[in-house]
Amino acid sequence: MSNPLSTTVLVIGGGPAGYVAAVRAGQLGLDTTLVEAERLGGTCLLKGCIPSKALIHAAGQFAAMMRAAAGPHIGIHLAVPPTLDLAETMAWKDGIVDRLSSGVAGLLKGANVRVLAGRAEMLDGKTCRVATASGVQEVAATHVILATGSQPVSLPHLPFGGPVMSSTEALALTSLPRRLLVVGAGYIGLELGTAFRQLGSEVSVVEAASEILPLYDRSLTGPVRRWMEREGIALWTQSRATGLCPAGDGVAVTIERTDGSASRREEIVVDKVLVTVGRRPRTEGWGLENLALEMNGPFVRVDDQCRTSMRHVWAIGDLVGEPMLAHKGSAQGEMVAEIIAGHRRRFQPVAIPAVCFTQPEIVSVGLSPDEAKQQQIPVTVSQFPFSANGRALSMEAGEDHGFVRIVARADDHVILGVQAVGAHVAELSAAFVQALEMGALLEDISGMIHAHPTLSEAFPEATRKGIGMALHA
C-alpha cells in the first residue's frame, strides 16, 4: 500500500453528479480527489443518455431514407433503399462518447482535481481504500461526496446474459436483431424500442401496467401509442414476460396476460430480449455497510442540502432518490461543492424537467392537471396544437397530434406546469423550466414576442388560450 493521501473533498463516482461536484469544488480552490472505477462520464454519458440519443438520431435518418426509397416523398426520390451497417453506426456513437468522456477528463484537470482510477471502498466516514492498477491507495478526506449512481434492474426469471440484455448491451450491439422484445414500456424501453423499429427490427413491447409510459397521462402518451401502432410495434399491456427457452434460432418468451379477471399465456419467439423495468441505486460494492447512514428505502436519506446522517458525508444523484436524472444529480453536485466552500445553498428547485425521446418526444415540467387535482389546487388548463404551428407543419411534425399544455392557478394565473408532446419538443424544456422558476403568469408568457416560425410559438399561444385571448386556435 502506498502512503496515505489526504484531501479536503473526496468524490466517489465520476458520473454527471460526481464529476460536476469535483469540478466545482476544484474551481472553488478545494483540494479535491475523484475516484472512478470505469471511464469518466458515468451511465448517462457512457451507457445511457448520450449513446441512446445518438442511436435514436441515426435511426431517424435511416427511417427517413427508407421512406423516400419506398416512394417519392416531398419531392425526394431514392432509387434503391439504404443499407445499414450497425457496427459502423455504433462506432460513430462511440466516437461521440469518447469525445465527451475526454472532455470530462479535461474539465477535471483544468479544475486541478486529482483523479484516481480504481474501485473505491469506504472504510468509515473519512477513509477510503482505492484498488488501482498500481496497487492500493488509502485516502483520508475531510468531506466525502457519494455519487455512485444506479444500475439496471434485472428480473429473476429473465436474468441478464445471453439473449437477455439491459440497455447497456443493447447500445453495444453490432448486428441488428431481427426480432426484439422490450420488457417494460417506460422511457428507456420505448426510446430504444422506437430506435430499433426505425432501424428495421420487428419490435414487441410488454408492460405490466395498463398504459405505456405510466408516469405520464394518456393525453401525452396517446401520440406515442399511435406512432407505435402505425409502425407495427406489437404491444401487450397488463402483461408480464415470465420466462424463456430456446426455440430454433431464437428464444421463446412466455407472456402472461391479465385482462380483468381473465388470465392467459402465450409465447413469442424473438432473437433478443431487452429488459428495461427500471434502475436501482448502486449501494453495493463500495462499502456502504461500513457507514452509519440512514436510508430512505433503497436510497440514502439526505436533507435539502444533500447532507447524510453522518457529519461531512454527502450523497447526490441517483443514490438519493427520484427523479433519477443526470441534470438533477449535476445540480446537486454543484450545490454540495459550494456548501463545502462556505456558500449558502439549498436544493429547492421549483421543477425538474423530464424528457422522453420517443416518437414523438414528450416533455413534462411541474404539475400535470391530475397532480394539481390531487393537491386540490384549482387550475386552468389550456393547450395549443402543433397542427396550427407553421414550423411544425413545415418539418412534417404537425399531424402527430402534438401540443403544448399549460397548467396555471385559476385565481392568479401563476404557471404551475407545462407539458408538451411533439417532434423536437425536448428543446422547449428550458423555456418551460424558466417560466416556472421565475414564477411567470400566463400573461407574462403571452406578452413575450417569440420568433416566427418556431415551435416555441406554441408556448405563448397556449397561454393566450388560458386567458381567453387565443389568436391562432
Number of Cα atoms under 13 Å in the Cβ half of residue 102: 6
Q: Which residue has the cell 432509387?
A: 79
Phi, psi of 437 (to 5 degrees): -65, -35
> Could you please report the per-residue DSSP string of 395-449?
TT-SSS--EEEEEEETTT-BEEEEEEEETTGGGGHHHHHHHHHTT-BHHHHHTSP
For the entire predicted model, the pTM comes to 0.93
The Cα-based distances of 30 to 41, 105, 316 in angstroms read 21, 18, 18
What is the average per-residue pLDDT within 425-450? 96
Distance of alpha carbon 103 from alpha carbon 86, whole angstroms:
26
Omega into 360 within 30° of 0, i.e. cis? yes
What is the average per-residue pLDDT within 58-67? 95
Q: Which residues contact 157 (CB under 8 A, 6 or more apart)?
A: 241, 242, 243
Domains, the chain, ranges and CATH? 5-47+91-152+280-340 (3.50.50.60), 164-277 (3.50.50.60), 354-466 (3.30.390.30)
**pLDDT tens, position by position, 390-430:** 999 999 888 889 999 999 999 999 999 999 999 999 999 99
What is the average per-residue pLDDT within 375-388? 96
**pLDDT tens, position by position, 111-160:** 999 999 999 999 999 999 999 999 999 999 999 999 999 999 999 999 99
DSSP 3-state assignment of 209? coil
Cβ burial of 58 (10 Å; 0-12, 13-18, 19+) is: buried
Active site residues: 452
DSSP 3-state assignment of 24? helix
**pLDDT tens, position by position, 302-323:** 999 999 999 999 999 999 999 9
Cβ burial of 28 (10 Å; 0-12, 13-18, 19+) is: middle
Average pLDDT value over all residues in the chain: 95
Distance of alpha carbon 400 from alpha carbon 222, whole angstroms:
10
Task: Check residue 472 and give its pLDDT.
Answer: 76
Task: Check residue 180 and give its pLDDT.
Answer: 98
In the predicted structure, residue 441 carries a pLDDT above the cut 80: yes
Cβ burial of 44 (10 Å; 0-12, 13-18, 19+) is: buried
Find out whether 225 and 358 touch, Cβ atoms under 8 Å: no
Find out whether 296 and 321 touch, Cβ atoms under 8 Å: yes
The three grid cell numbers given for residue 234, joined into one nine-digit string:
406489437
The Cα-based distances of 87 to 49, 92, 349, 463 in angstroms read 19, 9, 41, 46
453: pLDDT confidence band, cut at 50, 70 and 90? Answer: very high
Q: Which residue has the cell 413575450?
A: 448
Distance of alpha carbon 42 from alpha carbon 36, whole angstroms:
9
Phi, psi of 220 (to 5 degrees): -80, -35
Find out whether 197 and 234 touch, Cβ atoms under 8 Å: no
List 383's β-bridge partners, or say none.
Answer: 405
Distance of alpha carbon 117 from alpha carbon 44, whole angstroms:
19
Find out whether 19 and 100 touch, Cβ atoms under 8 Å: no
The three grid cell numbers given for residue 135, joined into one nine-digit string:
496497487
Cα 372 to chain center, whole Å? 24
Task: Check residue 264 and give its pLDDT.
Answer: 81
Cβ burial of 145 (10 Å; 0-12, 13-18, 19+) is: buried
Query: What is the sign of the dihedral through the CA atoms of 442, 443, 448 and 452?
Result: positive
How many beta carbons lie within 10 A of that of residue 96, not counting itself? 15
